[in-house]
Amino acid sequence: MTIDVATAAYDVVKRELDDEVDPRYVSRPEPIAFPGDDGESYGFFYAPTNPEFTAPEEELAPLVVLVHGGPTAHDQPALDLQLQFLTSRGLAVVDVNYGGSTGYGRAYRDRLRGRWGEVDVQDAAAAARFLADGGRVDAERVLITGGSAGGYTTLLALGVSDVFAAGISEFGVADLVSFHAETHKFESRYDEYLVGPWPEERDLYVERSPVTHADKISRPLLLLQGLDDKVVPPSQAEAIVAALERNDVPYAYVAFEGEGHGFRGAYAMRRALETFLSFMGQLFGFEPADELEPVQIENLETAPH
């Protein structure tokens, strides 16, 4: 848009979307504060919103716990069409700005210093418990998800927490040791702030790696991965898949040719969302209204019912 600085009048030059978003389908963010790992933590809750459907009075919505990347980033309550895709289909979402996220002051940001893999996991679980205890979501149908660093939190949470019934990791870090060795120069000291000095704290890197706890994962897991990812290579997801297969844990692994760290192509973006919904529907007992190609879940017969 162009803005007249004298009058503040503006003209739209081009819209990101050709079609207007119908506001009746848009879930408005509700800021929440909840007891976290080290004091109060924060996030945004999005209730299911669809004018064409009302859930049965006695049924609580499944909850998607969304964990941002970074890991010291910050999710803001801006319009996110992928999030709205979920809420318009009957799912509740909580976008967690766990301890260590920016935007809440230095002390809050420093909660993650040396504690990546602890504070983020505990705050994600605390957000889910807070909403379930308040009677707003179904405590038995809680899924955690995130990409990159958020995928790391997802993978680790499924190995160390009993709050989540399932998880979806998008190009998540599984092995901190190899990640430290292979990461680009710009972030080469970042994980020393998040975990500890290298190589003095090598054992801590091993302990905080999801692959170390992969044999403890018993809940269904979907992994989405770009085969050209140079930041988190496919070998990290494949190490988790090997453990899931070894232990007969329900899982699906969907890899995209030509995609790197984050999905950019229209096919991958759409397929990832549809796979997400199909995976949740099969596990949580609902039939998506959309015409979707169902994702095949290995070992599905062993999933808790």
Question: Looking at residue 253, what is its pLDDT?
Answer: 98
Q: Where are the domains of the chain?
A: 2-302
Question: Looking at residue 170, what is its pLDDT?
Answer: 97
Question: Looking at residue 58, what is its pLDDT?
Answer: 87
Predicted model pTM: 0.92
- DSSP one-letter string for 1-44: -EE-TTT--EE----S-SSPP-GGGPPPPEEEEEEETTEEEEEE
Tens digit of each residue's pLDDT (9 = 90 or more) over 188-231: 678 888 999 999 999 999 999 999 999 999 999 999 999 999 88
Active-site position among 68, 180, 213, 261: 261
Active-site position among 41, 101, 148, 178: 148
Question: Looking at residue 291, what is its pLDDT?
Answer: 87
Q: Examine residue 71 and say whether the peptide bond preceding it is cis (omega within 30 degrees of 0).
A: yes
Question: Looking at residue 200, what is its pLDDT?
Answer: 95
CA–CA distances in Å: residue 269 to residues 33, 58, 173, 226: 31, 34, 20, 11
Mark the ranges of the chain whose per-residue pLDDT is less than 70: 16-18, 183-188, 305
The answer to whether residue 229 is catalytic is yes
Rounded CA gap, 47 and 60, in Å?
11
Question: Looking at residue 216, what is its pLDDT?
Answer: 96
The answer to whether residue 169 is catalytic is no
The answer to whether residue 162 is catalytic is no
Question: Looking at residue 195, what is its pLDDT?
Answer: 92
Closest listed residue to residue 226, CA positions, set 189, 264, 198: 264
Active-site position among 75, 95, 123, 229: 229
Question: Looking at residue 103, what is its pLDDT?
Answer: 95
At the fourth CATH level, which superfamily is domain 2-302?
A: Alpha/Beta hydrolase fold, catalytic domain (3.40.50.1820)
